[in-house]
Amino acid sequence: MSKPKLWHCNNTRSLRPLWALEEMELDYDLELMPFPPRIYQKDFLDKNALGTVPYFEDGTTTMTESIGICHYLAERYRKTELSVAVDHPEYGDYLNWLYHSDATLTFPQTIVMRYHNLEPEERKLHQAIKDYGKWYIARLRKLDAQLSDREFLCDSHFTIADISVTYALYFGELLGLSEYYSPQVLNYLSSMKQRPAFKRAAQIGKDLDPFKNFPPTKFHLFD
Ligand SMILES: N[C@@H](CCC(=O)N[C@@H](CS)C(=O)NCC(=O)O)C(=O)O
């Protein structure tokens, strides 16, 4: 039987499924690429026409969504209990955090990254950086409340909801936005980053870290 295979770029959203694979101690194959592969590894477009990471294959299954892949791994392999049971009272909450982490949290971050880090000087949009940076920080309000009395997001144990949301917080930290995090969000991020599986996953492909080209930023979001 073939192993699941993940295409990954260091510190991008493919860290989510890589971290899940490491938590589950699954046997997997990995293809490491420079970022963005659409420019530096053009043959990747034959696999994934979007050019985005993650890309994932398992037998005849192919996937391109980081949280979808985590969900698939948790349900398909069940090596460790990384999900919440359908009949558990917090099942809806668990699904909500999974979707929330990309649809609500990383969406504004992507705009900050584009107009702050990726575009050339003459195309940088300072108003967009400020507005979407503030929007992201305001959207952490729900997480602040959830973490006021919890170590993990759902069902009192570590799940892929923690992986999904932690990646959004980690991405914000890489961008330089974590100075605006509340103490409970900072504590949560720090404790998730201490997990051995996170440390192993974050280290893989470190020499290709796309963020090493971006100088540390001091944002002035609030006047
Ligand atoms: N919703 C997708 C987004 C995938 C995505 O946009 N990945 C980024 C890296 S975090 C990417 O590959 N960007 C490169 C590009 O757009 O060329 C997911 O969560 O996997």
The model's pTM is 0.97
Look-up of token digits 């930023």: 217
How far apart, in whole angstroms, are the C-alpha atoms of residue 132 and residue 136? 6
Any atom of ligand 1 within 6 Å of the Cβ of 102 = yes
Please tell me whether residues 61 and 134 are part of one structural domain: no
Q: Is residue 69 part of a domain?
A: yes
Q: What is the pLDDT of residue 219?
A: 82
Structural domain range at position 18: 5-77
Name the burial class of residue 171, with classes exposed (0-12), middle (13-18) and buried (19+) by CB atoms within 10 angstroms of its CB: buried
Number of domains in the chain: 2
Could you check whether the bond before residue 54 is cis, i.e. omega within 30 degrees of 0? Answer: yes
Nearest CA to ligand 1 atom 1: 65
Ligand 1 center to 214 CA (angstroms): 18
pLDDT band at 1 (very low <50, low <70, confident <90, very high): confident
pLDDT exceeds 80 at position 85: yes
Please tell me whether residues 69 and 100 are part of one structural domain: no
Please tell me whether residues 112 and 45 are part of one structural domain: no
**CATH number of the domain that 134 lies in?**
1.20.1050.10
Q: What is the pLDDT of residue 222?
A: 84
Q: Is residue 149 part of a domain?
A: yes
pLDDT exceeds 90 at position 78: no
pLDDT digits (tens, 9 = 90+) for 97-152: 999 999 999 999 999 999 999 999 999 999 999 999 999 999 999 999 999 999 99
**CATH number of the domain that 46 lies in?**
3.40.30.10
Ligand 1 center to 147 CA (angstroms): 27
Phi, psi angles (nearest 5°) of residue 35: -105, 135
Any atom of ligand 1 within 6 Å of the Cβ of 12 = yes
